[in-house]
Chain A
Amino acid sequence: MSIVRIACLAALAAAAFAAENNTFLLRNATVHPVSGPAMENASVLVVDGRIAEVGAKIAPKGKVKVIEARGLHVYPGMIDSGSPIGLAEIASVRETVDTGEIGDFNPQLRALIAVNPSSEHIPVVRANGITSVLVTPGSTGGGRGGAAGSLIAGQASLMHLDGWTWEEMEIRRGAAMQMTWPAIQMPRGRGGDIEAMLPGLAARRITFAEARRNQQQQVQKIQDFFDAARRYQKAKAAGEAVQPDLRYEAMIPVLEGKLPVMITAVREREIREALDFAARERLKIVLAGVRRPGKALEEIAKRNIPVILGTTFVPPLEEDDPYDDPFTLPARLHQAGVKFAFASFGTQFARNLPYQAAQAVPFGLPYDEALKSVTLNAAQIWGIDAEYGSIEKGKYADLIVTDGDPLEIRTQVKMMFIRGAPVDLESKHTRLYKRYSARP
Chain B
Amino acid sequence: MRRMILTAVFLASGLPAADITVVQNGTIHTVTKGTFKGSIVIRDGKIAEVGEKVMTPAGARIVDATGKHVIPGIIDAHTHIALDSINEGSVSVSSMVDVTEMLNPESVSIYQALAGGVTVCNSMHGSANSIGGRNVVFKMRWGADARGLVFDKAKPSLKMALGENPKRQGSPQGLQIPGLSPPQNLRYPGTRLGVEDVIRDAFTRARAYQREWKDYETRKARGEKLLPPRRDLELEPLVEVLEGKRLVHAHCYRADEILMLIRVFDDFNIRGVTFQHVLEGYKVAKEIAERGHYASTFSDWWSYKVEAFDAIPYNAAIMHRKGVLVSLNSDDAGGAELMRRLNTEAAKVIKYGGLSEDEALAMITINPAKQLAIDQWVGSIETGKDADLVIYDKHPLSIYSKVEKVFIDGRQYFDRDEDMSRRPKIEAEKEGLRKKLLDQQKQAMPQNRRPS
A61 within 8 A of B: no
Choose among A190, A409, A432, A436 the residue that contacts B399 (Cβ–Cβ < 8 A). Answer: A409
Nearest CB on B from A150, distance (A):
22
A-B residue pairs in contact (CB < 8 Å), sample of 15: A90-B304, A90-B306, A91-B304, A92-B304, A93-B305, A196-B84, A314-B337, A316-B112, A323-B419, A355-B399, A408-B398, A410-B347, A412-B351, A429-B314, A437-B318
**Quick check: which of B190-198, B231-239, B295-303, B363-371 contacts chain A, the rest being far away?**
B295-303
- A398-433: contact bitstring with B at CB < 8 Å (1 yes, 0 no)? 000000000111111000000000000000111011
B266 within 8 A of A: no
Known: A314-B337, A351-B300, A407-B399. A93 touches B84 (CB 8 A): no
The 9 closest A-B pairs by CB, nearest first: A315-B335, A433-B314, A409-B347, A429-B312, A92-B305, A362-B402, A358-B399, A323-B115, A315-B337
Name which of A89, A355, A361, A437 has the most chain B CB atoms within 10 A of its CB.
A437
Contact assessment for A319 and B85 in the assembled complex, using a CB-CB cutoff below 8 Å: no
Nearest CB on A from B167, distance (A):
14
Mark A residues whose CB is within 8 Å of B: 89-93, 120-121, 124, 190, 192-193, 196, 198, 200, 313-316, 319-320, 322-324, 347-349, 351-352, 355, 358-359, 361-363, 407-412, 428-430, 432-433, 436-437, 439
Chain B's closest residue to A327 (CB) is B402
Chain B's closest residue to A356 (CB) is B399
Nearest CB on A from B142, distance (A):
11
Contact assessment for B452 and A432 in the assembled complex, using a CB-CB cutoff below 8 Å: no
Interface residues of B in 272-321 (CB under 8 A from A): 282-283, 285-286, 300-306, 309-310, 312-314, 318, 321
Known: A196-B85, A323-B111, A433-B318. A408 touches B399 (CB 8 A): yes
Interface residues of B in 394-408 (CB under 8 A from A): 394, 397-402
A316 / chain B contacts, CB cutoff of 8 Å: 112, 335
- B322-339: contact bitstring with A at CB < 8 Å (1 yes, 0 no)? 000000000000111110
Choose among A196, A315, A411 the residue that contacts B112 (Cβ–Cβ < 8 A). Answer: A315
CA distance A121 to B349 in the complex (A): 20
B179 / chain A contacts, CB cutoff of 8 Å: 200
Seed contacts A315-B112, A323-B419; 14 additional CB < 8 Å A-B pairs: A90-B304, A90-B305, A91-B305, A120-B309, A121-B303, A313-B337, A314-B337, A315-B109, A315-B336, A359-B341, A407-B399, A410-B351, A410-B397, A432-B310
Contact assessment for A362 and B401 in the assembled complex, using a CB-CB cutoff below 8 Å: yes
Contact assessment for B344 and A355 in the assembled complex, using a CB-CB cutoff below 8 Å: yes
B350 within 8 A of A: yes
Nearest CB on B from A320, distance (A):
7
B178 within 8 A of A: yes
Known: A92-B304, A407-B399. A436 touches B351 (CB 8 A): no
CA distance A399 to B81 in the complex (A): 41
B104 within 8 A of A: yes
Contact assessment for A362 and B400 in the assembled complex, using a CB-CB cutoff below 8 Å: yes
Chain B's closest residue to A427 (CB) is B312
Nearest CB on B from A291, distance (A):
13
CA distance A309 to B58 in the complex (A): 51
Nearest CB on B from A413, distance (A):
10
Nearest CB on A from B175, distance (A):
13
CA distance A362 to B396 in the complex (A): 12
Nearest CB on A from B71, distance (A):
16
Contact assessment for B335 and A90 in the assembled complex, using a CB-CB cutoff below 8 Å: no
A409 / chain B contacts, CB cutoff of 8 Å: 344, 347-348, 350-351, 397-399
Nearest CB on A from B102, distance (A):
9
Name which of B336, B337, B350 has the most chain A CB atoms within 10 A of its CB.
B337
CA distance A121 to B308 in the complex (A): 13
Nearest CB on B from A312, distance (A):
10
Nearest CB on A from B61, distance (A):
24
Dominant secondary structure of chain B at its interface with chain A? loop
Name which of A91, A190, A348, A412 has the most chain B CB atoms within 10 A of its CB.
A348
Known: A316-B335, A323-B112, A408-B400. A436 touches B305 (CB 8 A): no
Contact assessment for A436 and B419 in the assembled complex, using a CB-CB cutoff below 8 Å: no
Known: A190-B452, A408-B400. A324 touches B301 (CB 8 A): no
B393 within 8 A of A: yes
Name which of B312, B351, B397, B426 has the most chain A CB atoms within 10 A of its CB.
B312
CA distance A421 to B353 in the complex (A): 27
B450 within 8 A of A: no
CA distance A320 to B433 in the complex (A): 15
A411 / chain B contacts, CB cutoff of 8 Å: 351
Chain A's closest residue to B399 (CB) is A358
CA distance A90 to B300 in the complex (A): 15
B108 within 8 A of A: yes
Nearest CB on A from B310, distance (A):
7
Contact assessment for B303 and A120 in the assembled complex, using a CB-CB cutoff below 8 Å: yes
B423 within 8 A of A: yes
B314 / chain A contacts, CB cutoff of 8 Å: 429-430, 432-433, 437
B305 / chain A contacts, CB cutoff of 8 Å: 90-93
A361 / chain B contacts, CB cutoff of 8 Å: 399-400
Nearest CB on B from A283, distance (A):
34
A124 / chain B contacts, CB cutoff of 8 Å: 302
CA distance A408 to B399 in the complex (A): 6
Contact assessment for B282 and A90 in the assembled complex, using a CB-CB cutoff below 8 Å: no
Contact assessment for A320 and B304 in the assembled complex, using a CB-CB cutoff below 8 Å: no
Contact assessment for A433 and B312 in the assembled complex, using a CB-CB cutoff below 8 Å: yes
Choose among A93, A120, A192, A410 the residue that contacts B350 (Cβ–Cβ < 8 A). Answer: A410
B111 / chain A contacts, CB cutoff of 8 Å: 323
Choose among A192, A349, A362, A436 the residue that contacts B282 (Cβ–Cβ < 8 A). Answer: A436
A348 / chain B contacts, CB cutoff of 8 Å: 301-304
A352 / chain B contacts, CB cutoff of 8 Å: 300
CA distance A362 to B403 in the complex (A): 10
Contact assessment for A429 and B347 in the assembled complex, using a CB-CB cutoff below 8 Å: no
Nearest CB on A from B426, distance (A):
7
A314 / chain B contacts, CB cutoff of 8 Å: 335, 337
- B149-173: contact bitstring with A at CB < 8 Å (1 yes, 0 no)? 0000000000000000000000000
CA distance A196 to B313 in the complex (A): 37
Chain A's closest residue to B392 (CB) is A362
Contact assessment for B419 and A322 in the assembled complex, using a CB-CB cutoff below 8 Å: yes
A320 / chain B contacts, CB cutoff of 8 Å: 426, 430
CA distance A92 to B179 in the complex (A): 25
Name which of A93, A196, A313, A362 has the most chain B CB atoms within 10 A of its CB.
A362
CA distance A256 to B337 in the complex (A): 42
CA distance A270 to B111 in the complex (A): 30
B341 / chain A contacts, CB cutoff of 8 Å: 313, 359
Contact assessment for B321 and A437 in the assembled complex, using a CB-CB cutoff below 8 Å: yes
Nearest CB on A from B420, distance (A):
8
Chain B's closest residue to A436 (CB) is B282
Contact assessment for A322 and B423 in the assembled complex, using a CB-CB cutoff below 8 Å: yes
CA distance A313 to B338 in the complex (A): 7
